[in-house]
Structure 1
């Protein structure tokens, strides 16, 4: 019957719940003589393995023969890759030509996006093999990179990896595109499932899930933003996508909620997921809707990535092509002697902050018409600051935009003397313009960003006293702390999210927020060259106290706020409430019922308190063994 379904799915006019590669699955018969790949039974199960997940050098680590057999069963897709940076270090993998390519051209290509190990924030791995110019200081080690990677192109590959890791008590990771700020795709001694090559797509003009009937797309887990935009061009639709061109849309992004440029119009990314397919910790392949396996639908859409299972594909609600008017407002404050700056410039710091205050005071009006705006406030020196914001306004005519923003621009220019003018460009359909050349998804490369984040409740804008206190905390973050403040303003109550957003686990503090803000610690990158490998624990935690101090000020004025689990401080205090709010208790219950073995583990996700990474230097990286804590 499975092969009949497989053949039917090859017929263009037929609709099937699975892509053909999802029909390629493990059978009970083949597991009978191979216990390492046997399915699990979650009900009543408990973790019975060693105190720490099995790692290289342990007696329980699979032998070479074990790995060879596993690879044969997989059909030869098991990889044992070395970090790309190894080409720059003395040893068997040293390659001056490749090292030079990494230093000069790799960031303008698909190299890092298509590498099975690379994660685009290095420090969680331990920065143990950074790309460096000759002569290199130190050695290259695997560090927090996984030892083996399953290059998954069928559901069978994923099932085999899940079952093998569970039965052999290995640490298991899931990696999609590598956009991971906190280390959920890295882990010492791990086996990794790489979903990067799951790229199938299908456009369905009419499909029904629950009360919804309309246009949808069926997408594989490995599809990136740039690929999805190309499909938007081809088929004439819009849907929410991550901001980065090479971010995987249907993995960790929707698992954290998935804010995007059209959130104020269509809700967050997770709000548009109508159904999905997943391999759970017992190795079983399941279909998930708001009514079928509803606990997984709830948990996997907003409840944190790498936690409940491996998503293979999804049915996504889509919308008509959406015209958006995009433009910037920016002004700087510089010393009077500065004559090289060509942007709107003022020479008084108080006037600068008054302008930023005025801009933020318009947040509600802009979001209430479906707008989203992205702002940055940076301190260059004690006498030099910069501010810029990009407005993205869908469905508005030039006259409507003028009515909306003229009061802001007039007050900036007339009341404050900031020389700005409102110039409204033509609206475009940025995701759907046939005039645009096809995107290619090039340009991603590793970095070392460290930051914290906060969701600011809309209610803080409804009271003048509270708003002024909120703005004072923002100002202190930049002026006193020296951090960069990045605000993303949107408004996504359940009335905007609609169906099926009412069935997911996006926390209430997301629904009440008018701004998600990141506080970037640029000094972290300067400390020790921006790599954990060159820091001591004392140096890191001393620097972290500075970030924690400014965040305490922000938390103090946003007691009903939270934070975005995908963009946050890995050391966020009370992260359970901050990331998941009132949803946390239910999320932990789903986790324990679906994964009693603790197979899927990712830092600061529901139920993760049961395990911790033992890092030798005491740094918050994934370069250490994953061990039980005794917390149940």
Structure 2
């Protein structure tokens, strides 16, 4: 059998070239029964009957695990590996050099020092950038004598290079009742990129980007980009730049573009100019769980197109490519404003922040996009993006705030520069190039314009933010207005609450490496408690389904709003066997995970 060799270098990677993984054989356990007595034979028969009954129950209601008698034998795995062109990868957790019997101090030091760097996990067929989904499986910060378990990692992954390999994998998991996962980089705050006992299709090395200068459809004529599912946000920004165009992508460069990001709505610095990332979709190529490659657009399979454009990833089909609108690249101005509490009281410091909050509608009405960070002693409004805006125009929008700060005696620093292209502005302005992952548990809330229409609600918002900051929470927001008018009145499943929101608010509780499961659970509960006042302040709003709480009891309303029932009908049509699963994905509440990680029908 031809095998693949997995590059196990533990240094972060910046270049993404084709690679494959090691497919290791596991010796089957064989027991020989010799000359049993009648009593032994009867007892054995009983055990076999019970095991067979359990296997039937598991296969009917639950996905199987490697510990089950019905788990495929080594010969079956070998045959499957041959059917997918020898591209099956057996999981070896990244943290294994930190544990006996494969302990390696030098490698372990490298792993621990790079554990929070996205690029370290990105080339892995199994790793996750958010440790809460790994359930302490082979944690590199646990003692070396702690067993290294595959645990919540996928058991195997197929390094996909053809659509036929995806179809063969779907057929295999359906035949054997194995949990199925679609993954790219593992940059997933909602846990959809892993699963105990799962077989994954690993889409990471599908990285083609095609420019279509004259795309024509019933609802759009113009430039477009066709993107494969392994493409990262920064790679798309760069290739678009080379063609003199832009499209809406995320701020974090390591986020995969065509997966959960755009299927979950997707926001970025261009959202105030062109709408959500999902508003840019023109056409999908989709592999269905029935094993067919189909096209979805406003002209063909419209329901599937509608659901994939903002209705959440990992629920309806496996996206093979996305074609999106490409807009003319224009100059971009970036501005900043910073001040601290040095030399002033906390009350005055927060009054200055109040003054900033009051001008939020000015920013969105001017189609600016901004990131704000709140701390006990430092306020930062940076970057402020203005597409096709001059320095004079952007600073004129900020001028009422600067005048107020001057009258309050606040010392601040401000500045602005114009860049010829979006890529130049992004390289200068993004604060997420050196983003660390796995160091916090997050939740989010969309803040509607109605807050700024009420002085009472605005005061309540300020009180909530100040209270969270004083509890040492990670508090930030993104100012944007992706209205239907800005987006061109698209027909898609984007959560309607995005359309009248002026801010996307994020809240985080810090994590430290090596925390226990009990501590992690406590912090998840803290996040839920902390976000509650914002939910009470904004009834009928929602959250960003890619960056939210896993244990949100109102996830159907908060993530999907009035679209949920229609999305569920579409899921049942295109995924009738319920192969695709995510705990907060559409239809996710039909399943639950047992303590051992087994996925079972509710």
Asked whether the two chains share a fold, i.e. TM above 0.5, the reply is: yes
CA 1:367–1:294 in 2, change beyond 3 Å: closer, same or farther? same
SS across alignment from 1:50: helix
Alignment of 1:539-558 (within 5 A): 539-558=519-538
Q: Does 1:424 align with 2:397?
A: no
CA 1:465–1:259 in 2, change beyond 3 Å: closer, same or farther? same
Q: Does 1:87 align with 2:97?
A: yes
What do residues 326-380 of structure 1 show as CA deviations (whole Å, max 9, x unaligned)?
23212222xxxxxxxxxxx34211111111111111111111222111111124x
CA 1:445–1:477 in 2, change beyond 3 Å: closer, same or farther? closer
Partner of 2:396: 403
Alpha carbons 2:336, 2:416 under 8 Å: kept: no
Partner of 2:590: 610
Partner of 2:553: 573
Alignment of 1:162-561 (within 5 A): 162-333=170-341, 345-379=342-376, 384=377, 386-414=379-407, 416-431=408-423, 447-479=438-470, 481-498=471-488, 502-522=490-510, 525-526=511-512, 529=513, 531=515, 534-536=516-518, 539-561=519-541
TM-superposed CA distance for 1:226, in Å, is 2.0
CA 1:545–1:121 in 2, change beyond 3 Å: closer, same or farther? closer
RMSD over aligned Cα atoms: 2.4
Partner of 2:600: 627
Q: Does 1:51 align with 2:33?
A: no
Using the alignment, how far apart are the partners of 1:230 and 1:421 within structure 2? 31
Using the alignment, how far apart are the partners of 1:443 and 1:151 within structure 2? 27
Alpha carbons 2:224, 2:326 under 8 Å: kept: yes
Alpha carbons 1:176, 1:194 under 8 Å: kept: yes
SS across alignment from 1:426: strand
TM-superposed CA distance for 1:276, in Å, is 0.9
Residue of 96, 100, 106 corresponding to 2:109 = 100
TM-superposed CA distance for 1:48, in Å, is 10
Using the alignment, how far apart are the partners of 1:530 and 1:372 within structure 2? 36
CA 1:174–1:514 in 2, change beyond 3 Å: closer, same or farther? same
TM-score by length of 2: 0.86
What do residues 432-488 of structure 1 show as CA deviations (whole Å, max 9, x unaligned)?
689x89x9x997765242011101111111222222222222222223x43221101
SS across alignment from 1:425: strand
SS across alignment from 1:84: coil
Using the alignment, how far apart are the partners of 1:109 and 1:574 within structure 2? 30
Query: How many pairs are equivalent?
Result: 544
Using the alignment, how far apart are the partners of 1:466 and 1:110 within structure 2? 41
Using the alignment, how far apart are the partners of 2:221 and 2:472 within structure 1? 50
CA 1:346–1:487 in 2, change beyond 3 Å: closer, same or farther? farther
Unaligned 5+ residue runs, structure 2?
A: 1-56
TM-superposed CA distance for 1:388, in Å, is 4.4
SS across alignment from 1:503: coil
Partner of 1:593: 573
Using the alignment, how far apart are the partners of 1:370 and 1:137 within structure 2? 56
CA 1:399–1:387 in 2, change beyond 3 Å: closer, same or farther? closer
What do residues 256-294 of structure 1 show as CA deviations (whole Å, max 9, x unaligned)?
100110101011111001001011111111111012111
Alpha carbons 1:229, 1:432 under 8 Å: kept: no
Using the alignment, how far apart are the partners of 1:79 and 1:606 within structure 2? 29
Using the alignment, how far apart are the partners of 1:551 and 1:530 within structure 2? 25
CA 1:558–1:509 in 2, change beyond 3 Å: closer, same or farther? same
Alpha carbons 1:409, 1:422 under 8 Å: kept: no
Alpha carbons 1:246, 1:444 under 8 Å: kept: no
Alpha carbons 2:370, 2:381 under 8 Å: kept: no
CA 1:370–1:495 in 2, change beyond 3 Å: closer, same or farther? same
Using the alignment, how far apart are the partners of 2:371 and 2:531 within structure 1? 20
Alpha carbons 2:91, 2:126 under 8 Å: kept: yes
Using the alignment, how far apart are the partners of 1:456 and 1:109 within structure 2? 29
TM-superposed CA distance for 1:313, in Å, is 0.7
Using the alignment, how far apart are the partners of 1:330 and 1:489 within structure 2? 16
Residue of 112, 115, 119 corresponding to 2:121 = 112
Using the alignment, how far apart are the partners of 1:488 and 1:330 within structure 2? 16
Using the alignment, how far apart are the partners of 2:270 and 2:595 within structure 1? 40
CA 1:490–1:443 in 2, change beyond 3 Å: closer, same or farther? closer
Instruction: Using CA pairs under 8 Å that are at least 6 residues apart, name the structure with larger relative contact order, 1 or 2.
Output: 1
Unaligned 5+ residue runs, structure 1?
A: 1-46, 334-344, 617-623
What do residues 218-261 of structure 1 show as CA deviations (whole Å, max 9, x unaligned)?
11111101211221232111111111111111101011100110
TM-superposed CA distance for 1:131, in Å, is 2.6
Residue of 140, 145, 150 corresponding to 2:148 = 140
Alpha carbons 1:112, 1:445 under 8 Å: kept: no
SS across alignment from 1:186: coil
Alpha carbons 1:56, 1:189 under 8 Å: kept: yes
SS across alignment from 1:451: strand
SS across alignment from 2:242: helix
Using the alignment, how far apart are the partners of 2:433 and 2:115 within structure 1? 9
Alpha carbons 2:509, 2:526 under 8 Å: kept: no
SS across alignment from 1:450: strand
TM-superposed CA distance for 1:59, in Å, is 2.2
Partner of 1:39: none
Alpha carbons 1:364, 1:514 under 8 Å: kept: yes
What do residues 61-111 of structure 1 show as CA deviations (whole Å, max 9, x unaligned)?
1111111111101110011021111011112x3334432332456877954
